[in-house]
Amino acid sequence: MSEHAVAGTAERTGSPHKRAWHLAERPLVWLAPLTLLLLITYVYPAIDVIRYSFTDATLLNPEYAYTTDSYRALIRSPDLPGILWVTFVFVVASVVLQLVLGLLVAMVLNRGVKRRLPGVSVVRIIILSAWIVPGVAAGIVWQLMFNEASYGFLNAILRGVGVSPVAWLSDPDLALWSAVIANVWRGTAFSMLLLYAGLVVIPSSLYEAASVDGATALKQFWYITLPQLRPILLINTVLISIFTLNTFDLILPLTGGGPGRATEVLALYTYNTVFRNFDLSNGAVLAVILLLISIVFTLIYVRLLPREL
Amino acid sequence: MTTIGRTRLADIGTYLAYGVICFFFAGPLLWLISLSIRTSAEIYVSNINLWPEHPTLENYASALNNPLFPIYLWNGLKLAVGGAFGAMLFAAPAAYALSRFRLRHQQLTMIGLLAVQMISPLVIMVPLYRYMDRVGLTDSHVGAMMIYIAVAAPLFTWMLKGFLDGIPQSLEEAAMIDGCTRFGAFMRVVLPLSLPGLTSAFVLNAILGWSQFIIPFILISRPGLLPIAVGIFNFQGTYSQTSTQILAAASVISIVPAVVVFLVLQRFIVGALMGGAVKG
Amino acid sequence: MKKKFLSAFLAGTILTGLAAGAAAQQLVTTDRVGSPDAPNVLTMRANPTQSPNSPSAEQKATFEKVWQSFAEAHPDWQVQFEFFGQDIGSEHARLLEQARAGRAPDCVTVDSFQLALFIKNGVLQPLDDFFSQEEIDDLFPFIRDGITGSDGHIYAWWWGTDLRVLYRNTEIVADTPETWEELQNAALEAAESGVEGVLFNGGRWEGTTFDWLANFWAQGGSLVDEDGKPIFGEGENREKMLRAMDYFKGLVDSGAAPRRVATIKDYNDFNAAAIAGSAAMFFGGHWQHFQLQEAMPEEAFAKWDVSELPGPTAGERATGTGGWTVAAFTDDPAKVEMCANLMREVYMGPANEVIGDLPTRESLFAELPKFQDPYFDKLKDYLVNGRARPGVPIYPEISNQIQITMGEVLSGTKEPEAALDGAWNRVMEAYTKM
């Protein structure tokens, strides 16, 4: 109704703004700058990646021919299942821990803010600082934390309390979990921020009503907090899944992907394939797989998304 | 138990939780700071004292004494702020369209944005380099900033869209009835009203840009143009020198600006997320 | 205490500001050598340790004088620096990509084992005009081979080399282990006394492959044939590989070396263990001698001695020799010449003395004052058994696969045979594609 009214005004006045006004009524005009930007900076190179994945291009040789060999080689590759499994464990464990920890931290922070407890902002700053530390520095710090030599921080603590030292990085089964811990340390802040923002906007009247009805804290959490947080939990899950899936700058200084291939996640494998092995086409195939996994994440997300968007 | 007693107890529990959180998150940070005030001889001493026996500020001095260091910091700031600002220019009209018009493929567009967000720079690095090189935008802040903007814009749009949804349409309609064009109403009514949302999305994206690594690594090689996230590598020899302590000092300095910005603006940041992503 | 800290911090910051202001008039800054007004510009990308931006304050100070005289000798030129980060593999990949696009810096320090990649790709300028035949003949043979292209021209100047040695704390291990067996026994004995017997690189990085290859080479093994085709996974070479792998596996399984060697990917870890007194021996680089000297109290340092890497028998020895080259990427003749001037006036000799990398010319090694002491005399002897990594484009992938193999073997996930055959198949697959 209101749009009619506006349109009427403009037509009546017949102002010189008329043409501009017509353009401004088209949503595409508003969306065009962003769309163009993304097309030329992102979509175009992404299409190029897909093209390279159907070639035998290497960084060493400027000439290349079109072929599907890279895909075939990858399907046959004995390494891929292992790398996908490592990636799966790394991503799922990181995401679950970041969500749970992020939610817990957000809830205690929210409680602190509501009760005006002193010191809350200090806690928040500490978590955020972990997020801002450059990846390489985080890798180095955690390497010194996990180091199994006598100066390794965690083992020194364990020794102090009389527990035998742990092979944080040299045990192939444990190394991946050490990488997860370091990643969770760095990534929880973002998750916490999003969830905290979600908590703040839940109307307190909901909780008050529930209290009056005698609902326990656990029930309140289950029937009010979680459903209210649902959309933000979803977007959060998608975003941190993508961040984690593409992480390699932390693992590179921490383990380099070792021992053996124990911590070589897909992103690191892609990076290694292109930059160590100079194999552009195989790297492109891996990049396409990264893309496909991301798309699957998006589709799942769309499925779970509330309709009213 | 009385309600007050129960609240007390919960407060104690909250502080206990804070203690655990701080231990996990601050531990490595304190360790980083501790490393940064050590002499090279004390880096590897096997005790777990956070405070070294001979604390020194020399590492900070040698990091800061490197004339490139302030340049790295400045470049980092320039790219992060420029990227976030540019992202705002592109995101604001797009968010407006998504919020105010009834698009035929509204959901598809939103998902499309998210999908672009999912393409990591890692995936496209080689074609991106070749392409930027062809158009002569490597080793330039303009080129790098374009990519920073593109990386930040989708998330920016998502946040802002949610925020705009919360601003009643009646205000701009009133302005348009008074003879304002839609664009005029957007500039004069909508943007000023969404200032808190803009600020917070801006700050969040600027902080994300501050720690951006792969884009400048691929596109920039002149040290005078590198941001701190990449430049910090230069504090470590290509084959190891005993310079862990200087690297630690450089890392500490490099997180300070971001923390300060956060301290000053944290209210806004949380605000942005509340307005945007929640409703997203 | 806190106040003192803070004021010192502030003072430091202010000084930095002043220093930055003064820098404008200097001929040598961290990223420029020569006057900023000089009409000709040479861009140079360097490993930070080999630039005016060295992370070691001490080396930086001495190196500055070298740069200063270079700047004074060439007043019409300024050299603008770019730097390598620490991930050397990706740095060289990026460099190659830039060279392809014609955007490489004019002059670059290239790691010797990556040089072949650039020679084969034809992105380097021949340098024969700038060095006399005498100087070229003076180079150690493996150095000369490394910089010579298939057309017989030289394409870089390999100015410094390094080698791997056995460090040992003589208080714990009195006799020099000459063979693998002696080493293992000595390490086991040391381990029983509660220290780590022997340490070596075993993590995912180049050093792991390179340091270990000495044991393969000592048996006369070859990674590739004369055409650059990998041969390490077949016949005799395969046996030699397995023997060298069993040696390292035995060290870990017996407890002579701790399991954590599978995580070591940094020579600094050895320094650390030596300083902390927690290890009896380690396989390290010759330069660590100086780092230990700097970081340890004198009486502790005196306990440490360096000897040749043990071989399968006392007579079969080898050590890996690496090092850095300088190559010209520009096609502007004047810039090529200036790049060659840098090689000659800064790197060939002066840089050896500053950084401690061994001279690659026999006569320089015999003449330069720094290298005339008992330590370097010893190294000179070891250098006879020096082996460089094969200068072939497939080498980085061979190295990558050996690193993976080593991790699998040392952590016990795979038996050496299975791990090696896996590595061999992957290398051959990559090789066919090249």
Domain at C333, CATH number: 3.40.190.10
Tell me how far CA of residue C158 lies from CA of A284, C86, C367, in angstroms: 35, 20, 18
3-state secondary structure B196-235: HHHHHHHHHHHHHHHCCCHHHHHHCCCHHHCCHHHHHHHH
> Residue B169 carries which side chain, given as an amino acid letter?
Q
Q: Is residue B236 part of a domain?
A: yes
Shared domain check, C348 and C257: no
Asked, for residue B243, whether it belongs to a domain, the answer is yes
Q: How far is C116 from chain B (nearest CA, A)?
A: 19
For residue A252, being part of any structural domain is answered with yes
B74 or A198: which leads in pLDDT = B74
Please report which residue ranges of chain B form alpha helices under DSSP H.
Answer: 3-36, 58-65, 68-100, 106-118, 121-134, 141-165, 170-177, 182-185, 191-193, 195-210, 214-219, 228-231, 244-275
- Claim to verify: residue C132 and residue C180 sit in the same structural domain: no
pLDDT in tens, C157-200: 999 999 999 999 999 999 999 999 999 999 999 999 989 999 99
Is residue B49 one of the residues assigned to a domain? Answer: no
Q: Does C143 lie in the same domain as C104?
A: yes
Q: Are residues B121 and B223 in the same domain?
A: yes
Q: Which of residues 402-431 of C touch A (CB under 8 A)?
A: 403-405, 407-408, 410-411, 413-414, 422, 426, 429-430
Q: Do B233 and C85 touch (CB under 8 A)?
A: yes
Judged against a pLDDT cut of 60, whether residue A195 lies above it is answered with: yes
- Interacting residues of C348 by C-beta distance below 8 A, sequence separation 6+: C157, C159, C359, C361, C364
Does B256 share its domain with B175?
A: yes
Please tell me whether residues C267 and C148 are part of one structural domain. Answer: no
C429 in the same domain as C297: yes
Residues pairing with C306 in the sheet? C167
| Structural domain containing residue B23 | 3-36
Residues C367 and C417 in one domain: no
Beta strands in C140-243 (DSSP E): 157-161, 164-169, 196-199
Position C2 in a domain: no
Query: Based on the domain organization, do C424 and C360 belong to the same domain?
Result: no
Work out how many domains chain B is built from and give that number: 2
Q: Do B200 and B91 belong together in one domain?
A: yes
Let me know the angle formed at the C-alpha of A252 by A248 and A254, rounded to the nearest 5 degrees. 120
The radius of gyration of chain C's CA atoms, rounded to the nearest angstrom, is: 23
Number of domains comprising chain C? 2
pTM confidence score: 0.85
* B171 falls within a domain: yes
Q: What is the pLDDT of residues C206-251, one digit of tens each?
A: 899 999 999 999 999 999 998 889 999 999 999 999 999 999 999 9
| CATH number of the domain where residue B162 is located | 1.10.3720.10
In a domain, B46, yes or no: no
Which pLDDT does position A18 carry in this prediction? 52
Same domain, B72 and B32: no
Q: Is residue B242 situated within a structural domain?
A: yes
- Residue C91 forms part of a structural domain: yes
Q: Do C376 and C413 fall within a single domain?
A: no
Print the domain residue range for A216. Answer: 83-277
Domain holding A208: CATH number?
1.10.3720.10
**Domains of chain A: total:** 1
Round to whole Å and give the CA distance between B143 and B135.
Answer: 9
B167-191: per-residue pLDDT in tens? 888 888 888 888 888 888 888 888 8
Contact C30/B126, CB-based, under 8 Å?
Answer: no
Residue B43, token pair as written in the block: 């880096």
**Pair C381, C292 in one domain:** no
∠ CA A300-A270-C213, rounded to 5°: 145
The dihedral built from the CA positions of residue A158, A162, A165 and A166, taken in this order, carries a sign that is negative
Instruction: Please name the residues between 46 and 65 in chain B that touch chain C, using a CB distance below 8 Å.
Output: 46, 55, 57, 60-62, 64-65
Which of A62, A260, A276 is closest, CB to CB, to C411? A260
How far B197 CA lies from chain A's nearest CA (Å)? 13
Name the CA dihedral angle for B137, B141, B147, B148, rounded to a multiple of 10 degrees.
180
Give the span between the Cα atoms of C363 and C352, in whole angstroms. Answer: 13
Per the model's pLDDT, the better-predicted residue between C182 and A128 turns out to be C182
Q: Give yes or no for a contact between C163 and C320, defined as CB atoms under 8 angstroms apart.
A: yes
User: Does residue B148 share a domain with residue B14?
Assistant: no
How far is it, in rounded angstroms, from Cα A31 to Cα B100? 12
Say if residue A118's pLDDT is above 70.
Answer: yes
C265 in any annotated domain: yes
Assess whether C315 and C332 both reside in one domain.
Answer: no
Handedness of CA C290, C292, C296, C298 (dihedral sign): negative
Q: Do B65 and B25 have their domain in common?
A: no
Q: What is the CA radius of gyration of chain B?
A: 23
* Among B residues 39-68, those touching chain A with beta carbons less than 8 Å apart: 43-48
Is residue C410 located within the same domain as residue C271? yes
The set of residues, in sequence order, having a beta carbon less than 8 Å from that of C223 and lying 6+ positions away, is C213, C216, C230, C231, C232, C237, C389, C390, C395, C398
A247, part of any domain: yes
Does any domain span residue A264?
yes
> What residue numbers bound the domain in which C311 lies?
164-319+391-433
Proportion of chain A above pLDDT 90, given as a percent: 22
If 0-12 CB within 10 Å is exposed, 13-18 middle and 19+ buried, where does residue A28 land?
exposed
Would B50 be classed as within a structural domain? no
Does C245 reside within a domain?
A: yes
pLDDT digits (tens, 9 = 90+) for C43-91: 999 988 899 988 777 888 899 999 999 999 999 999 999 988 767 777 8
DSSP state of C139: B
Shared-domain flag, residues B156 and B24 = no
Under 8 Å between Cβ of C388 and A243: no
B41 occurs within a structural domain: no
Residue pair C119/C149 in contact (Cβ under 8 Å)? The answer is: yes
